[in-house]
């Protein structure tokens, strides 16, 4: 006879745990708890599958010339804005030292 071995728990321990659960929640609440647990496991499984699918889809795609041009323009605008901010910071440091 094969007995269930969950974390080295034998049949008597599992029966004791089941009895405590029934005493705590009552026999009427057990089906509702089981349904809720099943739903939670289904949602968890779906979310983990979705994460794995996202990883598969994140393969690098080739960019169109329009996308490359847009990225270059955005990079240039960011560099110009950074230069303005650096100049302003230097100006403010000059006022603090004066």
pLDDT tens digits, one per residue of 15-66: 898 888 888 888 888 888 889 989 999 999 988 888 877 666 665 568 888 9
Tell me the whole-structure pTM to 2 decimals. 0.36
List CB contacts of 33: < 8 A, sequence separation 6 or more: 25
Cβ contacts of 11 within 8 Å, gap of 6 or more: 3, 4
Structure tokens belonging to residue 8? 């080295």
Looking at 1-98, list the stretches that DSSP marks H as alpha helix, in order from N- to C-terminal side. Answer: 11-25, 30-57, 65-97
Rounded to the nearest angstrom, the gap between the alpha carbon of residue 90 and the centroid of all alpha carbons in its chain is 41
pLDDT tier, 98 (very low <50, low <70, confident <90, very high otherwise): low
């Amino acid at each position: 006879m094969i007995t269930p071995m969950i974390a080295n728990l034998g049949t008597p321990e599992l029966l004791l745990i089941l009895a405590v659960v029934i005493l705590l929640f009552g026999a009427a609440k057990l089906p509702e708890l089981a349904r809720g647990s099943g739903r939670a496991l289904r949602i968890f499984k779906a979310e983990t599958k979705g994460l794995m699918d996202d990883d598969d889809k994140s393969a690098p795609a080739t960019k169109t010339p329009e996308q490359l041009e847009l990225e270059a323009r955005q990079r240039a605008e960011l560099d110009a804005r950074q230069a303005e901010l650096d100049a302003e910071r230097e100006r403010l440091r000059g006022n603090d030292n004066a």
